[in-house]
Amino acid sequence: MPRSLKVDQQYIAQVKAAVQRQGYPRQKDLAEDLGMSRDTVRKFLNGYAVDNLNFIEICERLLQDWNAIAATDVNTSNSQQTTLEPFADEPEVADFLDVERQSIEAMCYQTLCQPGALLRIRAPGLMGKTFLIARVLGKLRQEGYRTVCLNLQYAEQADLMNLNSFLRWFCISVGELVGYPNCLDKYWNDKIACKMNCFGYFQRYLLPQAESPFVICIDEVEQLFNHEVVGKEFLGLLRAWHETAKTIPIWRRLRLVVVHSTENYIQLNINESPFNVGVATELPEFTPQEVQILAQKYGLDWELAQVNQLMALVGGHPFLVKQACEYLQRYSHITLEELLQTAPTEAGIYANYLRRYWEILQRHQESLQALKTVLSAADKVRIEAKQSYWLSKLGLVKLVGNEVRMNCNLYRHYFSDRIS
């Protein structure tokens, strides 16, 4: 056996689909469960060579036959030198959201066509944020715009803890993703404040290089919420750039997209926050009509009565609805009623997905106790702000003003059976 193995290209889609099916909302969740680096898992899922033992372990966790999906020729030297795109193939991006939200997509597109625009997109995980912005940016690229998607998950913790390090990483990353040479040493002056350096790098180098509207999508912004100093300073900087476009013409080229899963957990001065300027959109769950359209795409001839049956359990959550439709298409002998009966149990289609949440909660007892409070309430209830933040980030609860309620009955039934 060679020392390194990689997934054959014809099986890439298969293994990526298996990540969702085995209950891992994102690649990083699989990496954490395996005790591997995100880079190793990302390489595996994109068809690059990884250590053979890691290859086999990942395959076993995803219930894949490693002998069947391994490429027969592995050029490890070439594989190791290939740079992976940092924002790429989380399950949210691929084809998991099959219902186009045309009105929201059109609004986002029109917003980013405006000089100096700032667009804010918020929704819990697996609601289709990444898919939405990928479609919008694709259209803008066709119009000649420069576009960059930068996921803050790829910032190192050391950078997130130091403003100067973080801003240098941000400048280099944006330039790298758009294909510009790294000229940071030429423009960065350690004798002045790092925010001014960052401002100057954009004004004197990145924006002039673009020669066209330049859209930067900053995803997973909530990664900053645990780093108050860096978070406050950087988010304030984004607000300042948006305001600067009103007075300095070259900044009108810059269009910002701020994408996050939860409410802002950092207390920002109202005049420094990017969360109260620009245009905001929040991705709603599917409507019954959209669920019916999605079901039809999977060959399910449902009346609204059947749509309502499914939504009574999972609401309009895109990922959960899609999983049900996909399962019923694959196993045509299973009825919707049978699927719904076992769905909140260890024998159901969501077992691995739900078990992953249970494992997370068991490692965070405060959040587990907060969820117990929510489960015991007949309606919405108020819990400690930090726990509201974390549980909504997971997507288990919905924020209703200063109170929360369970996101759907699937979570209520599953966790009620486990939390005494």
* Nearest alpha-carbon partner for 42 in 63, 23, 53, 26: 26
Q: What is the per-residue pLDDT for 87?
A: 32
What was the pLDDT predicted at 264? 56
Q: Which residues pair with 215 in a beta bridge?
A: 147, 255
- pLDDT for the residue numbered 416: 95
The boundaries of every CATH 1.10.10 domain in the chain are 352-416
Task: CATH 3.40.50.300 in the chain: give the residue spans.
Answer: 102-282
Tell me which residue of 31, 47, 152, 90 sits closest to 39, measured CA to CA: 31
Reduced to 3 states, what is the DSSP secondary structure of residue 115? coil
- CATH 1.10.260.40 domain position(s) in the chain: 4-81
In 3D, which of 317, 275, 273, 315 has the Cα closest to residue 124? 317
For the chain, helix (H) and strand (E) counts, in that order, are 22, 9
Tell me which fold the domain 352-416 belongs to. Arc Repressor Mutant, subunit A (1.10.10)
4-81: CATH number: 1.10.260.40
Superfamily of domain 102-282: P-loop containing nucleotide triphosphate hydrolases (3.40.50.300)
Measured between alpha carbons, how far is 126 from 367 in angstroms, rounded to an integer?
20
**Contact assessment for residue 163 and residue 234, using Cβ atoms and an 8 Å cutoff:** yes
Secondary structure of residue 67 in the 3-state scheme: helix
Phi-psi region of 98 (alpha: psi -120 to 50; beta: other; left: phi over 0): alpha
Outline where DSSP puts E strands in 246-337: 254-260, 279-282
Q: Can you state the angle between helices 304-314 and 409-416, rounded to 10 degrees?
A: 50
Contact 200, 187 (CB under 8 A): yes
What per-residue confidence (pLDDT) applies to 85? 35
Quick one: pLDDT at residue 272? Answer: 72
Flag residues of the chain having pLDDT under 70: 1-3, 72-100, 262-268, 270, 420
